[in-house]
Amino acid sequence: MKSGFRIGRIISIPIELHASWFLIFGLLTWSLATGLLPQEYPELSTAWHWILGAVTSVFFFGSVLAHELGHSVLALRNKVPVRKITLFIFGGLAQIEKEPPTPGAEFLIAIAGPLTSLGLAAVFGSLWLLDQAVPYLAAPSIWLARINLILAVFNMIPGFPLDGGRVLRAAVWQWSGSYSRATRIASTVGQLTAYGFIGFGIFEMFMGRFMDGLWLVFIGTFLNNAASSSAAVSKLQEAIKGVRVADVMPRNLLQVPGLITLQRLVDEYMLSAGQPSVIVGDGHDLRGVLTLQDIRALPPRKWPFTTAAQAMSPVSSMISVSAQTELRQALEMMQAKGISQVAVKESDQIVGVLTQDQIQQYLQLRSRLGM
């Protein structure tokens, strides 16, 4: 998911609002201000309906944030880093940097969110009883209690990547001893669940409840994409199991001088020789690495006037891994940190560079060989 607007940090975890959040916040506020609240409090003015609707929406997304923080706190306790929490059109997402180390940790991290929502449902349900002491509290409180209950129940549907799907994966992982097999099974159940949402949504649309059906189709499509992505990741992890960085990293990367222009580099080396990345340096002086991503970051009109040294990623600023590191770990680290290459070291000496392009080429070659 693309980065959004950072609004702060909670327990050192960045909190962001995706652009789509503003749309759903506006729609939810409009729905409350023109539907529920005028029915419950007709004596209030339209302006107060909108104010109360906006406040209720803020508490709703606060509940979603608390749900994701439940996951995040348990993840941190199990030494699983959390990159950030993003609120978006379908709710919230805690971006965990790596998978839990054990089935037990997976279960605890997954179940923490729904339990948090159940706790909030109880809190807002209790506030509903205070309406006589605090005016205009009943309708927002009971609505928030119901929506948190729905959030807990919905997330426990056993379809990956919902929390229930992660609980299912933890159970299968514990039973089979295979994380990859558990992910495949949970992802398959997730895809079947997504098809169920899409099918029921289409049925609702034909029955005249167009917006309700369309929303279910959107949710089903989102779940299907997420489940398919998880299945693909599991397949990838199986393909590179036991493979080391040294097995993939080319040791004969082309080295070019820092003063060569990008235009000449593309024309004479990358296109003609099929080099997706090159080392920039002179002799044993390795200064940096230049990949296709680095070049694509600049418009072609600037290539004749930009040198490799200006566009490269300096070795001094690159994250490094050992040549004996498992490829899976190196790839997870690159994805978690949002980088496309790492320096490779042997005996504290940089011996090359590993890029995501090289990993992709390696996987394509394995696929062609039927491996």
Contact 288, 314 (CB under 8 A): yes
Q: In this structure, are 75 and 216 located in the same domain?
A: yes
pLDDT at 65: 94
Q: In this structure, are 208 and 253 located in the same domain?
A: no
Q: In this structure, are 105 and 66 located in the same domain?
A: yes
Q: In this structure, are 181 and 45 located in the same domain?
A: yes
Q: In this structure, are 234 and 249 located in the same domain?
A: no
Q: In this structure, are 205 and 294 located in the same domain?
A: no
Q: In this structure, are 74 and 154 located in the same domain?
A: yes
Catalytic choice (16, 40, 43, 68):
68
Q: In this structure, are 315 and 347 located in the same domain?
A: yes
Q: How many domains does the chain have?
A: 2
Domain boundary among 239, 258, 293: 239
- Domain hosting residue 129, numbered range: 5-239
Q: In this structure, are 173 and 274 located in the same domain?
A: no
Domain boundary among 211, 239, 267: 239
pLDDT at 88: 86
pLDDT at 104: 94
68 catalytic? Reply is yes
Rounded-to-integer distance, Cα 304 and Cα 260, Å: 9
Residue 322, Cβ density class (10 Å: 0-12 exposed, 13-18 middle, ≥19 buried):
middle
Q: In this structure, are 133 and 162 located in the same domain?
A: yes
Q: Does the pTM exceed 0.75?
A: no
CA angle, 191 then 193 then 198, to 5°: 95
Tokens at residue 366, please? 């394995």
Q: In this structure, are 76 and 217 located in the same domain?
A: yes
Residues 6+ apart with CB under 8 A from 283: none
Task: Residue 320: give its domain's CATH number.
Answer: 3.10.580.10
Q: What is the mean pLDDT of each run of 10 residues along the chain (371 residues)?
A: 76 89 91 90 91 94 94 93 86 83 93 95 86 74 92 88 90 89 87 91 88 85 82 74 81 78 85 74 74 84 89 79 83 76 75 77 76 65
Domain boundary among 220, 239, 258: 239
Contact 118, 70 (CB under 8 A): no
Rounded-to-integer distance, Cα 143 and Cα 139, Å: 6
pLDDT at 135: 73
Q: In this structure, are 270 and 335 located in the same domain?
A: yes
Sign, CA torsion 100/101/103/104: negative
pLDDT at 289: 80
